[in-house]
Structure formats: structure tokens, C-alpha cells
Amino acid sequence: MGLSGEGAAGEEWIERLRAPRPEPARDGSPPDDRTLSRVIQAATSVPDHGGLRPWRFVVVCGTGRQRFADALVAGLHQLRGPDQPDAAVAKIRGKAFAAPCAVALIASPDPTSNVPVWEQVASASCTGYAIVLAASALGLGAVWKSAAVLEADPVRALFDLRPDERLQGWVNLGSPAPFGPKAARPESPVDLDALVTVIGDDGVHGGPVDR
């Protein structure tokens, strides 16, 4: 007999997780300093084997986005060559200005630790979702973004990455944009039977429900 997991607060939590999350408006307002601090503070609650805090963050807001854009464009040229179509340059530059503010996510593992690097990177990855959830809960638009140039030297240089650090994208933040064509999550979003198996005492694998 398992726990029923019932509870009004828990249901509300799960509903919140399932609810559609707005993205930030391109020309919206950035979060104020206190809100930004609260969001990043919330991100530090992620699971973290050994308490290593193998992550760090770089805030890019307002005029800082210009340098971000320049690094993305330089990264594009490094990756694909100097002659790039104007549209490709505009597209990657636009990523820096897609929101009033972004929090770049940097996995910063300690390779000398007993905790495997992959676990540390997993912890760092959790911070992105935590930032999205915390920002959404505070009424901000939030979405995790990336680009093909994360590993390019100009981008690594902008974020001052050590050789063993990795940029894991960034979370765009700001006042929420109205929902576009993005539909609400479907009532039954995934077929759990297709994703989950259970190893029972009898060694037989079954679905999560009919074990």
C-alpha cells in the first residue's frame, strides 16, 4: 500500500508545474534587483551532491546585452566562417535582445572532487529549471534558451569560462508576454506506460500503474 500523496497544497504545486509558462516580452521590463536575487537564490536549492555548488550565474540585462550580442555574432563567425548571410547574423544577434534580461547558466564542476563531474553538471542543469519555476511563480516570463555557439571562443571569453566550465544556455526573464499560439499543455501530456517501467519482486517489468 503506497502513500496516496494527497494534499491541497501539493495539488496546487503540480498544477503550477503543468500550467503553461509565459515567455518574457521582448520589450518588457526587467526584474528588479530584489526579484532577480530571489530567483537566483531559489536556484541554489537544487540537489547538489557534496554541497559543491558546481554552478555560477552571469546576469546580462539592459546595455550588457550589446556585448552578449557581439559575442554571439563573433561566435557565429568562428563556427561558420566570416561570410554569413545578414539574416543569420540578425537572428543570432536577436537572441541577446529577446528579453530585457537573461541569467546565463554556467556549470562549474570541481574535477578533483569525489563527486563525478556528470553529477555536478546534472546539479547545474537543475538550476535552469529552478530559475524558470521561481521566476514564473513570481509572475515573470521565463524561458531557457541556447544557441549553437555556446562553445565558441568569443562566447566563452565573454562569460570568462575556465576550461572545465560550460555555458548551459541562459534563462530569459522579464515581464510576461501574452500567450501566443502556444497551447496549454494537453490534459494527458505523456504516456507514462511508454516512459516508465517498474522492476517488481518477481523480476517482471510492468508499467507504473498496473504493477
Q: Can you give the binding site for ligand FMN, defined by CB under 6 A?
A: 21, 143-146, 168-169
What minimum distance in Å lies between the beta carbon of 83 and ligand FMN?
24
CA 46/CA 143 separation, integer angstroms: 18
Task: Please give the Cα distance from 67 to 114 (Å, whole number).
Answer: 37
Rounded distance between C-alpha atoms, residue 63 and residue 101, angstroms: 10
Least distance between ligand FMN and beta carbon 87 (Å): 17
Which C-beta is closer to ligand FMN: that of 62 or that of 94?
94
Cβ distance to ligand FMN smaller for residue 16 or 205: 16
Q: Is the dihedral of CA 149, 152, 157, 160 positive or negative?
A: positive
Closest Cα partner for 174 from 96, 61, 87, 66?
61
CB of 128 vs ligand FMN, minimal distance in Å: 6
Please count the other Cβ atoms lying within 10 Å of the Cβ belonging to residue 46.
18
**Cβ contacts of 170 within 8 Å, gap of 6 or more:** 60, 102, 103, 104, 105, 144, 145, 146
Q: Which is nearer to ligand FMN, 108 or 168 (CB)?
A: 168
Least separation in angstroms between CB 146 and ligand FMN: 4
